Amino acid sequence: MAVRAAIEAPAGDRPAGGRTTSDLPRGGSRDRRKGGATGRPRQQQDERAAGRADPAAGVEVVEVDANGFRFTVRAAGPTDGPPVVLLHGFPQTSWAFRTNLALLAQAGYRAIAPDQRGYAARARPADVDAYGLPHLVDDVLALAETLELGPFHLVGHDWGGIVAWLLAARHLERVRTLTVASTPCPPLLRAQLGQEQGTDPATRSRYLEMFRSPGDPELALIGQDGTGAGLQAMFAASGLRAAASGEYVDAMVRPGAMTAALNWFRALRPEHVSGLPPVVVPTLAVWSSRDVVLSRSAAEAVREFAAGRFRFEVLEGASHWVLDEAPERLQTLLLEHIGTP
């Protein structure tokens, strides 16, 4: 079936593809009294999220067939609420949006956050080129089609923000508003790929090129013992506490997961981010003052490529990992941006 429902469980306890409990029809066609992917959400079972997300909001996990793959998707909120699609970055999963999913549900939205290509165990092709940005954008569009979503509000963090920006630029009829957090502008990526000269490198590390090299980053991040000590150290050095990063480390040390996530970097081509039309939908860009990955100038540069209403906000004192550190502050900005259902 197109959609399958599962109870939420921490990554360390959940088999690849999730614990399936029932088959569901396509989104929007199920009687809400029966629950499931398009009915009343199941209560979230992950106690690590309970301190911030309200369990009563009912974050659930579903599996969705789209674009030839099966994606794990977290969802919350009334099925007839305005849809909000949330895209995570590297090296996180949809679990990063656990608080915002619940808060959006409380506000009356239908919030949907997929584990994207490479992060979902059943959406992990072997070919590096299969992780190019056009494929990642197509995944989001296909998921929206399977779930029978109308035009949606689009939110992206880090790499998820890059995918969101391209989707909004090239498929404006599908997007109501755009929100990006901790996200560089496409021309900066093109410059880092050596296609432009004289551009100030506004990122604060050489992580882009380092992660594009074959083999080395896997060894550095996962280690020969497979414990992910390097990844844990990277999170700590960039501001994310171990209590939050453990979920992502658990996910990334699974066989093939880190290579698939790094393939986003390896598959990036200049033509993927060239010739973009301006984004005309209302756009919110958010940057955090302790972001060691992205400078303010890089984050604010997206303004040049937004032709519609644009707002830039700074989360003072937060690191790059705003979804874990400051989800409520981000939520306030998001709701001001997208309005009340």
Q: What is the pLDDT of residues 249-273, one digit of tens each?
A: 999 999 999 999 999 999 998 888 8
Q: Which amino acid is at 32?
A: R
pLDDT tens by residue, 131-167: 999 999 999 999 999 999 999 999 999 999 999 999 9
Which of 22-26, 128-132, 143-147, 298-302 comes out lowest in average pLDDT? 22-26
- Which is more confidently placed, 124 or 292? 124
Cα end-to-end distance, the chain, whole Å = 30
- Residue-range domain boundaries for the chain: 3-338
Kind plus residue range of the DSSP H or E element containing 330: helix 327-338
| SS3 of residue 324 by DSSP | helix
Q: Which amino acid is at 257?
A: A
Tell me the C-alpha to C-alpha distance, in Å, between residue 204 and each of 199, 258, 275, 298, 299: 14, 22, 25, 10, 12
The pLDDT value given to residue 298: 83
CA 296 to chain CA mean position, Å: 21
Q: Report the predicted TM-score, pTM, of the whole model to 2 decimal places.
A: 0.83
Phi, psi (rounded to 5 degrees) for 242: -60, -30
- Which is more confidently placed, 58 or 204? 58
- Which is more confidently placed, 294 or 338? 338
How far is it, in rounded angstroms, from Cα 204 to Cα 222? 23
Nearest to 101 by CA among 114, 90, 89: 114
Residue 21 reports pLDDT greater than 60: no
**Other Cβ atoms within 10 Å of 197 Cβ, number:** 6
CATH superfamily of 3-338: Alpha/Beta hydrolase fold, catalytic domain (3.40.50.1820)
Checking phi first, is residue 183 left (phi over 0); if not, alpha (psi -120 to 50) or beta? Answer: beta
The pLDDT value given to residue 278: 92
User: Would you place residue 286 in the very low, low, confident or very high pLDDT band (cuts 50, 70, 90)?
Assistant: very high
Q: Is 307 in contact with 280 (CB distance < 8 Å)? A: yes
Mean pLDDT of the chain: 82
The winner for highest mean pLDDT among 17-31, 44-58, 203-217, 230-244 is 230-244
How far is it, in rounded angstroms, from Cα 226 to Cα 174? 41
Residue 56 reports pLDDT greater than 60: no
The pLDDT value given to residue 2: 59
Q: Is 333 in contact with 284 (CB distance < 8 Å)? A: yes
The pLDDT value given to residue 275: 86
How far is it, in rounded angstroms, from Cα 163 to Cα 160? 5
The pLDDT value given to residue 18: 40
User: Would you place residue 205 in the very low, low, confident or very high pLDDT band (cuts 50, 70, 90)?
Assistant: very low
Phi, psi (rounded to 5 degrees) for 145: -70, -45
Following CA atoms 113, 14, 222, 295 in sequence, which dihedral angle do they give, to the nearest 10 degrees? 20
Residue with tokens 């999963």: 93
Q: What percent of the chain has pLDDT over 90?
A: 64
User: Would you place residue 24 in the very low, low, confident or very high pLDDT band (cuts 50, 70, 90)?
Assistant: very low
Nearest to 86 by CA among 169, 183, 152, 11: 152
pLDDT tens by residue, 315-330: 999 999 999 999 999 9
Nearest to 320 by CA among 293, 298, 296, 297: 293
Mean pLDDT, to the nearest integer, of 168-174? Answer: 96
User: Would you place residue 192 in the very low, low, confident or very high pLDDT band (cuts 50, 70, 90)?
Assistant: low
